Structure 1
C-alpha cells in the first residue's frame, strides 16, 4: 500500500527502506577500524581521534566490568557535554550494561525518583554537580573532572566517601578473560526518561534496535544533503542526556565518522565563535537556540555558509522564528518531530517541499496514523484532527516495570503520542497541540499552540506560553505568559486581543496576560508549561479557600 507521504519524499530516498541494523557496540568497533586517525571529539581545548576514543572506551569498559557492570546492570550518566559522557555511554554498552541518562539540571527529588524507577546501581557524575545528587541506598559513584584527559584526576579530598575518580576508569585494563558480552539488537541499551512536561518522567525502554533504527532513518533521509562519511562536523550544544542529541547527533556521528564539536552548555557568543573557527556542517537545536542566534548583534558578522543542514526539534518551531533565522543566517531551518519513546525519529521536513507550520513527513520505516480522540481504534483520513500514533523499529516496547502505563500507551500496535494533529493530502504532519494541554472553553476545543503561533506574530513578543485557567463561565479560558524582545514596550490585554482579532476565533482569545522576564524551560531548553499550570492551580485553590 502506498502511503500518503511517499510522493513527498526527496528523489532517491525510499520510505520503505528496512536495512539490516548493527548494534551500538558494533557501530563503535567499525568506526574505530574505519576512521582511526579522524577527529571524533573536540571539547575542552582538546581533540580526540577515533583510535584514541576506541582505546579509552575499551579501558573504561574493562574497569566497569571489574566494578560489576554487565548485562542487567543500570548505570546513570549525570554528566554535561564532555568526552566523559560519550566514553561512558559506549563503555557501559560494551560491558553489557544499560545506560540511564540523567539531567544535571534535575532537582534532587527528580533524581531520586529516576534512580528508584530505573534501578540504577552506579552513577558517573561530574565535579561541581554532586551537591544536588542524592545517592539512593547501594548506589556507587564515579566522579569526573575537567582535567581527567590531561592526566590530572581529582584529588582524594575532592571525592565523597567511597567514590572513585573517573581516572580510575581510564587506567589500563585487560578485556574480560571470557570476552565481551554479546549484545543483540533486542537487548536493552538505555532507559530514556520521557520529558516529564505532562507528569512524572517515565523510563522508556530503548533497545539497540530502537536507537540503531532511529539513526538509520535520519541517515537514509539525509542522503539528499550530500553528506560524506568521515568528513562532516557537528556542532553539538544540545545536551547529550536528551534523546534528541544522544541519537541524532552522538550515535550518528560515531556511526558515520563525523567530528563532534562539544559545548558543555549554551553560550551564544561561544557558539558563534565555534562556527567561525570550526566551520561545522551540521547543527541541530531547539527553537530557543535558533532565536538566540538570530537575535544576536553579531549574527551579521558570522559566516554560516559551512552549514549543510540546520534542524529544529524538541519543541514546536514558531513560523515567525523560522523566517527570522533564515533571514539572519541565509540557511533554512528544517523542522522535525519526535519523542523519547521514538528514539526520537518521527517526522522531518523535506527541503524541496516545505509547508509552513508543518513538522514534516514520516521518516523512512516509520508509519504514522491519526486516530479518533474518542475512539482510538478508529483511523481518520487526511486533514482530520486526532491523536498522532506511530509505529516502527525505532519505537519503544514500553516503560520499565510500568505495565499499566505501557498498556495505556499503545493501541492496535501503535504508540499513542498524546499529540493532537493531522496529516494533509501530501502526508505532511501538522501538530495542533498536546492532548493534555488542550483547553475546553465553553464547549469548544482551544489549542494553545494555535494561540501561541498567532501571538508570535506580534513584533514585541520574544517567547510565549499559553495555558488554560479556570473560568467560571466557560470552564476554561486561555492565559498568555509573554517575554518581550529587547527594548520592546509592554502592551495591554485589550491591545493583544485587538491584534489577534483577525487571527483567532473569539473563543480562542486570551482572557489574561502576564509578562515575565523569563519563562520556565526544561533541561533541553523547551518552553515548559507545567510550572505555570501549577502556579495557576495554586492561585485558584487559594481563591476558592
Structure 2
C-alpha cells in the first residue's frame, strides 16, 4: 500500500524511481487537479489505522481524524455555513486546526488564517476584509479575549472555542486545568460562543456540496511589510498542486512510516502546504508543537525522531547555537528543507557539519502556495542557490525596467513564475491583481538569476535594492559577506540616505554568544569580501534583531528607526538654528 496518490501514467512519472532527476522536473509535467477534501479522504481510506497526529504524546489515527473531520463539517453545515463562506482559524498547531481546516474545505467554505499573535488592529483588518463570521480560537485567555472584543465590530456570528485540555494526554490535561487556570479563557455560554465538542456532536452525514478544484480554498494574507496585508486567493487546485509538486520533487512515494516534526505554524503558508498538506498526502505522522521552545523541541525529537523536517533560517541558527551535547539526532531524516527566508550559506554549512543532516533550501511566496523552487533532496545542492524549479513550474527572469523583456541566463532581473500553484489573485483587489501579473506570469518582486542548469540565485527584493551612486547594491550580498565572519550570528542590511551617493548601506548584526568584534574591525573584514560600493557606511551591533511573527528577520523596524532618527536630528537642528 503506497502512501501517495496515484499519478497519471507518464514517461516522467514522479513515482518512478528509475526516472532521471531532471525528467521529474519538467515544466511540462502537470499534477492532476483535485480537491483538498479528496486528499484527506484518500489518505483516510488507504491508511486508516496509521497514526496521523501526535500532540504532546496523545495520538489519533487517520481513521479517527477522518471521523472528526466529517462531524465538524456536519456541524458547520448545521450552523448555516454554505459554499464560499469564510471561516477564520486563529489556532496554534493542534489537532483542532487540522480537523477544522479540512472540515471547512470539504463543504466549500474558505479558510482564513489568523496568527494568534496578531494585534487586535491586525485581526480587525483581516476579519473585516475577509468577511469571516466564524472564528475558531483555543481557550486561552489572551487569544480568545482579542477575538471576543472584536466580535461586535467585525459582525462575528460565532466564536468556536477549542479547549486545550480536551486534546492533551490525561495527566497533562489534569495539570493544565489545575496549574494554568490564569491562562484559561472565561466566556459566557451564550449565542456567540460554541464549544468544539458541541460542533462535532451530531453524526449525520455531510450534505453534498458541488465543488471543483478551481474553487477558492484559503485566503492567505501577506505579511504586509510593504503595505496593508492583502488576501492571496489560493484555490484547491493551487494547494493540492503544490503538495503534489513537492511529492514529485522528492521522487514520488516515500516508504512508510514517515514522520513530520510540525513546529512551523500552520497559519503560515509554508507550513500549511509543505508540512500539513504534504504530510497528509504522504500518510505521514504529524508530530505537532503548538509553539517553539528549545527544551520542548529537543525532547520531542528524542521522543519521536522525525524523517521529514521543515524549518526557517532562524530555527537552524538556534540549533547551531546549541552546545555539542544538546545537538539533536537527525540521523533518520529523509528530507530536511529550509524555506520562508534566505538561508545563509554559513548557517547551512554549520548545521550540516554539526548534525550530519543535509539541508535543501527552497524558495516561494504566499502568492504561489508557496513553493516555486527547491534544491534537490538527492541531487546537487549549490551554494547560495534556492534550487531548481518545482515540477510543472516555469521561471522567467524579466527586466525590472522593461518587464516585457525576458533576460538571458546569468543576468539579474525580476523573478516571474508560472505554474498550477500560482494564486487566482488578491481578494477584492482587481487593480493590484493586474499589477502583480505580467503576460500571465506572477511578478514576485524578487531579484535573481538562473544559471545554465536552471538553479535560481536570489540577490534581493526589488524594493530593498539600494541605489548607491548609480549602482544597484543588494542587501543580501552584504548580509552573506557578514555571515562569513565567525562572530556573526544574524545580519540585516538596509539603505540609508547618503548626500554623495544617494543611498549607502548600513549593517545591523547580532553576535554569537561568547564572540566579540568591533564595528571597525567588521568593516575591515567586509572590505575584503565586497566591492567599494557595497561596503556599508556604518555597522551597528545589537543584542537582538527584529523579527516578524513567524520568526523571519525583519527590516521594516530598522528602516523606521533610521527614519525617525533622521527626523529627530533635523528637528533638533531646526530648533538650534
Structure 2 Cα separation of the partners of residues 437 and 12 of structure 1? 36
Structure 2 Cα separation of the partners of residues 238 and 371 of structure 1? 32
What is aligned with 1:73?
Answer: 85
Question: Aligned-pair distance for 1:301?
Answer: 5.7
- Decide which moves more: 430-439 or 215-224: 215-224
Give the counterpart of 1:137 among 154, 174, 177: 154
1:183 equivalent to 2:183? Answer: no
Q: TM-score, normalised by structure 1?
A: 0.94
Provide closer, same or farther for how the CA distance between residues 369 and 276 of structure 1 changes in structure 2, counting only shifts above 3 A. Answer: same
**3-state DSSP of counterpart to 1:476:** strand
1:10 equivalent to 2:21? Answer: yes
Structure 1 Cα separation of the partners of residues 197 and 562 of structure 2? 48
Give the counterpart of 1:480 among 507, 515, 527: 507
Does the Cα contact within 8 Å between 1:247 and 1:343 map onto a contact in 2? Answer: yes
Q: Give runs of aligned pairs for residues 221-236 of structure 1, distance below 5 A.
A: 221-223=249-251, 227-228=254-255, 230-236=256-262
Structure 1 Cα separation of the partners of residues 493 and 137 of structure 2? 36
1:367 equivalent to 2:394? Answer: yes
Question: Aligned-pair distance for 1:71?
Answer: 0.7
Question: Aligned-pair distance for 1:541?
Answer: 2.2
**3-state DSSP of counterpart to 2:309:** strand
Structure 1 Cα separation of the partners of residues 374 and 349 of structure 2? 18
Structure 1 Cα separation of the partners of residues 483 and 119 of structure 2? 31
Give the gaps of 5 or more residues in structure 2. 1-18, 572-577
Q: TM-score, normalised by structure 2?
A: 0.89
Does the Cα contact within 8 Å between 1:338 and 1:345 map onto a contact in 2? Answer: yes
Q: Give runs of aligned pairs for residues 14-163 of structure 1, distance below 5 A.
A: 14-15=25-26, 16-128=28-140, 129-133=143-147, 134-135=150-151, 136-139=153-156, 140-149=158-167, 158-160=186-188, 162-163=192-193
**3-state DSSP of counterpart to 1:323:** helix
Structure 1 Cα separation of the partners of residues 203 and 497 of structure 2? 62
Q: Deviations over 1:84-106 (max 9, x none)?
A: 11111001111220000111121
Structure 2 Cα separation of the partners of residues 235 and 157 of structure 1? 28
Question: Aligned-pair distance for 1:12?
Answer: 5.6
Structure 1 Cα separation of the partners of residues 539 and 138 of structure 2? 41
Give the counterpart of 2:481 among 426, 449, 454: 454
Does the Cα contact within 8 Å between 1:159 and 1:165 map onto a contact in 2? Answer: no
Does the Cα contact within 8 Å between 2:85 and 2:110 map onto a contact in 1? Answer: yes
What is aligned with 1:407?
Answer: 434
Question: Aligned-pair distance for 1:80?
Answer: 0.4
Provide closer, same or farther for how the CA distance between residues 198 and 9 of structure 1 changes in structure 2, counting only shifts above 3 A. Answer: farther
Question: Aligned-pair distance for 1:269?
Answer: 2.4
Give the counterpart of 2:525 among 499, 504, 508: 499
What is aligned with 2:5?
Answer: none
Question: Aligned-pair distance for 1:512?
Answer: 1.8
What is aligned with 2:278?
Answer: 252
1:174 equivalent to 2:185? Answer: no
Q: Deviations over 1:131-182 (max 9, x none)?
A: 3333343212112121124699999982255222222223233124xx2212
Q: Deviations over 1:481-524 (max 9, x none)?
A: 111111112412x2121101121111111112222222111122
Does the Cα contact within 8 Å between 1:25 and 1:183 map onto a contact in 2? Answer: no
What is aligned with 1:211?
Answer: 239
How many residues are matched?
533
Structure 1 Cα separation of the partners of residues 227 and 446 of structure 2? 15
Does the Cα contact within 8 Å between 1:143 and 1:159 map onto a contact in 2? Answer: no
Q: Give runs of aligned pairs for residues 335-350 of structure 1, distance below 5 A.
A: 335-350=361-376
What is aligned with 1:193?
Answer: 221
Question: Aligned-pair distance for 1:299?
Answer: 5.3
**3-state DSSP of counterpart to 1:357:** coil
